[in-house]
Chains A and B, each alone.
Chain A
């Protein structure tokens, strides 16, 4: 059973603070990890992906991956009210020559002005 676990939240942070979103996964063979942002009533938007252990930074976003602990996180620096959304963690698993994503249920982030 491929599982991706996220704290459902809501996670509330004040404007300008760092938001930390966490995700654990069960498949030790997973190689690719993605963070999507989903505004209410809209479709998911890819914001970060990471394939190697360590940190990957893109603007205000940093993805962190620890394969030994089967843990991936997303940090949002200088949080803005426009960051208020649900953040979905997704993990690739492979089978029969194809690649699918397993999604967590998402963490709802609220940035308070």
Chain B
């Protein structure tokens, strides 16, 4: 099956802890993205990566970090510096071309206790 997987589905974090969200794709896509969605809000871009070992900040990168060591994987770390991390986190991938159809994973719902 081709697709994008995210784990875990639900994640609970204590204040002051770092947590890492996993995103894997087997679509052979070059580009990968992380978004955050808050209730009643659209998707906001956190980080994106066009190629391995390269990534750029999106609109709301503060308090987050990423790595892209493999084409298939783009993990997101939510650090303790993120002031309001409770949200629905979505990973997406695309071919990275202008007609840029992005496909989403199932998401991780993070709750800070």
Contacts and interface: CB of A to CB of B under 8 A. Distances in A.
A46 B96 contact: no
Given A31-B98, A100-B45, A103-B43, A43 B56 contact: no
Contacts of B25: none
A94 B90 CA distance: 21
B99 interface: yes
Interface residues of B, number: 26
Interface string A16-33: 000000000000000110
A42 B58 CA distance: 23
Contacts of A103: 42-44
Given A42-B106, A44-B90, A98-B31, A92 B100 contact: yes
User: What secondary structure prevails in chain A residues at the interface with B?
Assistant: strand
Interface size, A (range) = 20 to 34
Given A42-B106, A43-B107, A88 B99 contact: no
Interface string B67-94: 0000000000000000000000010001
Interface string A87-101: 010101010111111
Given A42-B106, A42-B107, A51-B99, 8 more contacts: A4-B42, A8-B40, A44-B43, A46-B101, A88-B43, A101-B43, A101-B100, A101-B102
Interface of B: 31, 33, 40-45, 48, 50, 56, 58, 90, 94, 96-107
